[in-house]
């Protein structure tokens, strides 16, 4: 059962995060923060379709519900969904931290969680329609459910373990990178005294979310990647065969550069205060008598291997769970620094009598909550030590808050998407300028998906055909185009200069409009 103080910590962190994210979320469709896929995901969810590989059945299932909430336009609802998911992830992170932080110093839990809340990568994904916020929420929930048995060897109920397994299976339907949680989940199951098969059954039930893909595909929705109505096509879609070259595709010579970039990312996400505290916390964890932390280290290593070796521009986004687990290290670092400061300069009787450090720290926080001085009134010969400890503690609290505060001040202009209109203005310009019945050819994810959204969700210009030339060579793409309506005849996949000419020849009654992938300018011809 969640203790009252831990629940209050969750509420505080959740509300602070939600306030920050909702106030900076994009008001409609956006390309910011690597959010070009948003149009594809939203359109698939609204039309009960199948987005790009691996199909994201969990996200689409949640999206079906989100699309009907009467707040703003449809894209804004999905942006707020990301904000809520990431805020819940932050709150759950605080609950996980609370499992190893003394009850009297829960303020440390809040302060540590704020480093995750204000990390720019986390913040950015909380303001757009993407799968990473939901992934963070599910990972945080699984981590919270198994943390006691993995890190403290405490027995948890079979129901709790079964719920964690089911959510883990559901999480696979949103991001296959959750395979990195395997060490934690296996340890949790093996340490449970019953070793019941129910968690395994629950995992399989959660994975069953993928059965929705062929059920959706057979209805031929307008967004139907892979047309996964056969076993071969289903396997090709769910294993992301189209993108298989990206996995472990980073050249060996580039790995060192990526490692350096990762080190720079740590500083960008946490700031130097967070980096120092996480370093202290990591050292404390790895050198403590509790060896259970090695399982978390294994999980972090798996996330790192995938992100560093995945040859895509946005591969760093797969590190968001790493920033979450890094917050646990920051909390341990905060505890270590406070205990060190208390031991060095705090004249509390509990220390003079050899009492536990955590009790002394808890006494200090209780005095602060009562409005009393952080330090008790010391004897006259300890006046100086008391003043030093009092000032040091106040300075330390200010430093703790300075890290997240600086992150907000530095990154707020880039994170604030309230006035971002690039995607909607692009779509409006193209849809207004295109001749009746035109074939609009694109070669850019953001362009294609923005036009899909405005055509199939907003209901604009159903007479147009939006063709992504990069998909024209796939047999399933013809099925999707016919479901979208106004489908033209497509030529074989020829070089660009010939393909456009052939497209015009095969469809002499329709204007062909080419959208430049770099400038987003459209030129039309008949």
Residue 10 domain-assigned? yes
Does 437 lie in the same domain as 305? no
Does residue 154 share a domain with residue 36? yes
In a domain, 455, yes or no: yes
- pLDDT tens-digit series, residues 430-472: 999 999 999 999 999 999 999 999 999 999 999 999 999 999 8
Are residues 169 and 22 both part of a single domain? yes
The H or E element spanning position 246 is: none
Global pTM reads 0.90
- The pLDDT of residue 268: 94
86 has pLDDT over 70: yes
Identify whether 348 is part of a domain: no
pLDDT at res. 354: 43
- Is the preceding peptide bond at 54 cis, omega within 30 degrees of 0? yes
Q: Is residue 181 part of a domain?
A: yes
Question: 235 or 494: which carries more pLDDT confidence?
Answer: 235
**Residue pLDDT, tens place only, 192-203:** 888 889 999 999
Within a domain: 288: yes
Q: Which domain holds residue 200?
A: 4-333
> Which pair of tokens denotes residue 308?
């560093």
Tokens found for residue 6:
């831990």
- Output DSSP code: residue 456: I
Mean pLDDT of all residues in 289-305: 88
Domain presence at residue 250 = yes
231: buried, middle or exposed (CB in 10 Å: 19+, 13-18, 0-12)? Answer: exposed
Give the range among 102-106, 143-147, 444-448 with minimum mean pLDDT. Answer: 102-106
pLDDT for 310 equals 85
Kindly state whether residue 195 falls inside one of the protein's structural domains.
yes
Domain count for the chain: 2
Q: Do both 309 and 445 map to the same domain?
A: no
Q: Determine, yes or no, domain membership for 182.
A: yes
Task: For the chain, state the CA radius of gyration.
Answer: 26
Q: Among 333, 364, 384, identify where a domain stops.
A: 333
Q: Are residues 210 and 61 in the same domain?
A: yes
Do residue 299 and residue 437 come from a single domain? no
Average pLDDT rounded to a whole number, residues 284-302: 86
Q: Is the pLDDT of residue 421 over 90?
A: yes
Residue after which a domain boundary falls, among 274, 308, 333? 333
Q: In the structure, what pLDDT confidence band is assigned to residue 75 with cuts at 50, 70 and 90? A: very high
> Is there a single domain that holds both residue 127 and residue 224?
yes
Q: With 90 as the cut, is the pLDDT of residue 161 above it? A: yes
Question: What is the arithmetic mean of pLDDT over 56-74?
Answer: 96
431 lies in the same domain as 327: no
Residues 152 and 251 in one domain: yes
Residues 306 and 443 in one domain: no
Of the listed ranges 77-81, 134-138, 151-155, 402-406, the one predicted with least confidence:
151-155
Contact (Cβ atoms closer than 8 angstroms) between residue 144 and residue 92: yes
The residue from 333, 359, 389 where one domain ends is: 333
């Amino acid at each position: 059962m969640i203790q009252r103080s831990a629940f209050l910590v969750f509420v505080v962190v959740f509300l602070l995060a939600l306030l920050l994210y909702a106030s900076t979320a994009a008001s409609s469709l956006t390309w910011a923060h690597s959010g070009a896929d948003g149009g594809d995901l939203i359109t698939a969810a609204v039309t009960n379709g199948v987005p790009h590989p691996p199909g994201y059945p969990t996200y689409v299932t949640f999206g079906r519900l989100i699309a009907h909430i009467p707040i703003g336009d449809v894209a804004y609802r999905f942006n707020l969904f990301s904000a809520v998911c990431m805020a819940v992830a932050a709150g759950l992170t605080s609950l996980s931290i609370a499992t190893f932080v003394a009850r009297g110093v829960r303020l440390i839990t809040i302060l540590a969680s704020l480093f995750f809340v204000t990390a720019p990568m986390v913040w950015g994904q909380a303001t757009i329609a993407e799968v990473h916020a939901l992934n963070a929420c599910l990972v945080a929930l699984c981590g919270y459910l198994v943390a006691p048995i993995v890190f403290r060897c405490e027995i948890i109920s079979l129901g709790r373990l079964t719920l964690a397994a089911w959510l883990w299976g559901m999480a696979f339907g949103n991001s296959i990178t959750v395979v990195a949680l395997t060490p934690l989940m296996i340890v949790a199951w093996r340490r449970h005294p019953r070793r019941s098969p129910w968690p395994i059954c629950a995992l399989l039930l959660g994975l069953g979310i993928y059965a929705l893909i062929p059920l959706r595909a057979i209805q031929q929705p307008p967004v139907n990647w892979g047309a996964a109505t056969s076993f071969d096509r289903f396997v090709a879609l769910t294993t992301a065969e189209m993108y298989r070259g990206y996995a472990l595709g980073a050249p060996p010579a580039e790995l060192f550069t990526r490692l350096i970039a990762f080190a720079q990312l740590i500083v960008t996400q946490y700031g130097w205060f967070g980096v120092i505290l996480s370093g202290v916390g990591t050292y404390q964890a790895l050198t403590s008598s509790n060896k259970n932390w090695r399982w978390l280290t294994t999980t972090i290593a798996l996330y790192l291997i995938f992100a560093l070796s995945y040859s895509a521009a946005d591969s760093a986004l797969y590190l968001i769970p790493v920033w979450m687990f890094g917050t646990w290290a920051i909390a341990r670092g905060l505890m270590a620094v406070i205990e060190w400061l208390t031991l060095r300069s705090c004249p509390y009787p509990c220390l003079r009598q050899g009492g536990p450090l955590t009790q002394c720290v808890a006494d200090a926080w209780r005095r602060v909550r009562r409005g009393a001085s952080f330090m008790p009134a010391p004897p006259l010969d300890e006046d100086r030590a008391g003043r030093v400890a009092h000032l040091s503690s106040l300075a330390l609290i200010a430093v703790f808050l300075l890290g997240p505060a600086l992150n907000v001040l530095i990154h707020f202009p880039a994170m604030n998407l309230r006035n971002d209109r690039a995607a909607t203005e692009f779509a409006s310009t193209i849809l207004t300028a295109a001749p009746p019945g035109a074939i609009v050819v694109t070669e850019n994810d953001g362009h294609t998906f923005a036009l899909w959204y405005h055509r199939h969700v907003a209901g604009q210009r159903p007479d147009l055909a939006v063709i992504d030339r990069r998909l024209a060579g796939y047999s399933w793409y013809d099925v999707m185009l016919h479901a979208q309506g106004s489908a033209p005849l497509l030529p074989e996949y020829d070089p660009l200069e010939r393909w456009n000419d052939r497209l015009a020849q095969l469809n002499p009654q329709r204007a062909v409009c080419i959208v430049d992938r770099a400038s987003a300018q459209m030129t039309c011809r008949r």
